[in-house]
A and B are shown apart, each in its own frame.
Chain A
Amino acid sequence: MPELTTDVERLSLVIEIGGMPVRLNTTDPGFLDMLQNRYAGFLGESKPPEIEFDVDLTPPVFDQPAGEARVSHRMGRWSLQRGDFLAEWEPALRRGVIHQSANPYSIDAVLRIVHTLVLARQGGFLMHSASALRNGKAFLFAGVSGAGKTTISRLAPPDVTLLTDEISYVRKHDSGYVAYGTPFTGELAKLGENVSAPVAALFLLVQGPENRIDPVAPAEAARSMLANVLFFAKDEELVQATFHAAFEFVSRVPVSRLTFVPDTRVWELIG
């Protein structure tokens, strides 16, 4: 009599961003290959995974990622939902499941949200900013779309290590804040290096007629931080945590306005 069931091989890999390993399990070798390419440089198992997701691949519902992600918390379980994915995660069990089609955008969004939620409870955050490492120090460059995050990343001289041109990853440590490289890319479409360094400064980017660094008043620094920090969950506790994290950050890290012309000389002011 023929077997009615067969064992399905479980494939997995660990993506470690910001020192937090997340294991993804799939049964699709092609999807695994895609993940290995997409997150090259961020794969590894230096320590046990803090979260494990089973990825359930479904037929595409939409042609492309649709709408804003809805993130909610109920009975100890997070629900992450967007037009192109549905994920659930129970922090107490350190496990979750992601329903999505075989594409890199959905998993990328889920990872950003999960990291944001984890960091918020630890005084850290993800932020719309480029970041780079020079002389053992990390520098963040924040600004609205078009302010120059990609430009300043592209202009970086060879002694600068790019952490990201789009989403910076900041953890709070006892001694201060540390920025980590991320695979979350912007227009540059180049993965950051998987390295980290203490944050030395946050620059608010403005393109202008000259290269100049000007001080920023504390209140403006805090407002700019809050405008650029990633918020996903409409969860009061997390909103409060992220709000206070932004104020803590600007009280400990110098924040300045960096006006720059788009050429390499701007980097003479940094580092």
Chain B
Amino acid sequence: MSKLYVARNPRVAARGIGGEMMIMSGRDSTLFTLNKTATILWQAADGATPLDEIVQQRICPEFEVQPTEALRDAETLARELAGHGILQVSEEPIPTGNPASGEPQGEKR
């Protein structure tokens, strides 16, 4: 099974406040409030750490869930967030630091 990488979309605005992470889409001003799992995923989404490592190191200890089940849920969540333009998802490491050009990218292949 191939690795999956996730990166924060640099074209959204994000702020943590009072223990909640809020994200606003730059393209249509939609506001998202992330739940605890999505917040962990967002914070760890550096484009270089594979999703299974994020799950193993950050999500499993927090929620006491089985790695296989947690990875499946995290993949679903990552693709959902990518669909909203919040995360980028790719089977290759995602270079960060340079804002992507063109429309926000939901998923890279």
Q: B11 CB to closest chain A CB, in angstroms?
A: 6
What mask results when residues 83 to 106 of chain A are scored 1 for a CB within 8 Å of chain B, else 0? 000000000000000000000000
Q: Are B11 and A236 in contact (CB under 8 A)?
A: yes
At the interface, yes or no: A20 with Cβ under 8 Å from chain B? no
Q: Are B17 and A219 in contact (CB under 8 A)?
A: yes
Q: B104 CB to closest chain A CB, in angstroms?
A: 9
B residues less than 8 Å from A231 (CB atoms): 29
* Distance between Cα atoms of A243 and B28 in the complex (Å): 12
At the interface, yes or no: B60 with Cβ under 8 Å from chain A? no
Q: B4 CB to closest chain A CB, in angstroms?
A: 26
* Beta-carbon contacts under 8 Å, A227-271 to B: 227, 231, 234, 236-237, 239-240, 243-244, 247, 250-251
Cβ contact of B13, chosen from A219, A243, A250, A251, cutoff 8 A: A243
A residues less than 8 Å from B29 (CB atoms): 231, 234, 239
Q: B98 CB to closest chain A CB, in angstroms?
A: 15
B residues less than 8 Å from A240 (CB atoms): 13, 24, 26
The interface residues of chain A, by DSSP majority, are classed as: helix
B residues less than 8 Å from A243 (CB atoms): 13, 15, 24
Q: Are A239 and B13 in contact (CB under 8 A)?
A: yes
At the interface, yes or no: A201 with Cβ under 8 Å from chain B? no
* Distance between Cα atoms of A160 and B13 in the complex (Å): 37
Give the interface size bracket for A toward B.
Answer: 10 to 19
Q: Given A218-B18, A219-B33, A223-B22, does the pair A234, B27 have CB atoms closer than 8 Å? A: yes
* Distance between Cα atoms of A243 and B13 in the complex (Å): 7
Q: How many inter-chain residue pairs (CB < 8 Å) link A and B?
A: 46
| Least CB separation from A217: chain B residue | B18
Q: Given A226-B31, A236-B11, does the pair A219, B18 have CB atoms closer than 8 Å? A: yes
At the interface, yes or no: A204 with Cβ under 8 Å from chain B? no
Q: A224 CB to closest chain B CB, in angstroms?
A: 11
Q: Are A219 and B22 in contact (CB under 8 A)?
A: yes
* Beta-carbon contacts under 8 Å, B25-65 to A: 25-29, 31, 33
Q: B3 CB to closest chain A CB, in angstroms?
A: 30
Q: B8 CB to closest chain A CB, in angstroms?
A: 13
Q: Are B17 and A239 in contact (CB under 8 A)?
A: no
Q: B12 CB to closest chain A CB, in angstroms?
A: 8
| Least CB separation from A218: chain B residue | B18
* Beta-carbon contacts under 8 Å, A206-226 to B: 217-220, 222-223, 226
Q: Are B17 and A218 in contact (CB under 8 A)?
A: yes
Q: What are 22 A-B contacts defined by CB distance under 8 Å?
A: A219-B17, A219-B19, A219-B20, A219-B22, A219-B33, A223-B31, A226-B22, A231-B29, A234-B29, A236-B26, A237-B26, A239-B25, A239-B27, A239-B29, A240-B24, A243-B13, A243-B15, A243-B24, A244-B15, A247-B15, A247-B17, A251-B17
- Contacts A219-B19, A243-B15 known; 15 new A-B pairs at CB < 8 A: A219-B33, A220-B18, A222-B17, A222-B22, A226-B22, A226-B24, A231-B29, A234-B29, A239-B13, A239-B24, A239-B25, A240-B13, A243-B24, A244-B15, A247-B17
